[in-house]
Amino acid sequence: MFETLLVDFALLVALLIMFMIYVGPFILFFSSIIFVLTRKSIYISSKILIVIIILVITFLLFITLIKFIDKPSKDYSKMKQINDSKSIIGLSKEEVENKLGKPGKIEKSQNIYLYDAGTLYREVTFINRYGLWVKTYYYALFVYFDENDIVESTSLKESLEFYVP
C-alpha cells in the first residue's frame, strides 16, 4: 500500500511540474499585471512601466520556448554536400550526367543544368512538443558550365518549381 501511495505522489508531483512549465508563465504574467494595477500607492506612469517590463520578460520567456527544427530530405543533403564541397567543379557535361543523372531542365543559351535538390522541412515547435507549423522549401542545384562545357560553378537555390528529371 505504501508503494502505490508513493507512486501516486510521484505522479502528482510530475503532473504539477508539467503544469507549472506549460501554464506557469501565463499565471505569473496575469497575476503580476493584476497585482500592479490594483496597487493604489503606485503612480500611473510607474504602473505602465512595470506592465511593459512584465510584457517584455514574458515575451522573452515565450521566445525561448519556441524551437526551429530543419529536416532535410536525402536528396537535399546529397546536393548540399555536392554544392558545399565543390566536388563537381572541373567535370565535363558527360561526367556530371554520369554522376547526377540527366538534368531536369537545360538552359542552352546560358549553358546551365538544373537538378532537383530535394526539400527542406522547417518545423516550428513550442517546448519541443506542440507543432505550430511546418513549411516546405523546394531547392534546385544549378550547375554552370563555361564555353568549353566544363563545370565552372554550382549553386543551391530555393526554387518555386519542383524540377523532375
pLDDT value of position 3 = 64
pLDDT value of position 81 = 92
Tell me how far apart the alpha carbons of residues 117 and 164 are, in angstroms, rounded to a whole number: 10
pLDDT value of position 165 = 44
Task: Note the pTM of the prediction, 2 decimals.
Answer: 0.58
**C-alpha separations of 88 from 11, 66, 115, 118, 139 in Å:** 58, 38, 13, 18, 18
pLDDT value of position 38 = 79
Residues of the chain with pLDDT under 70: 1-3, 5-6, 21-22, 107-108, 128, 160-165
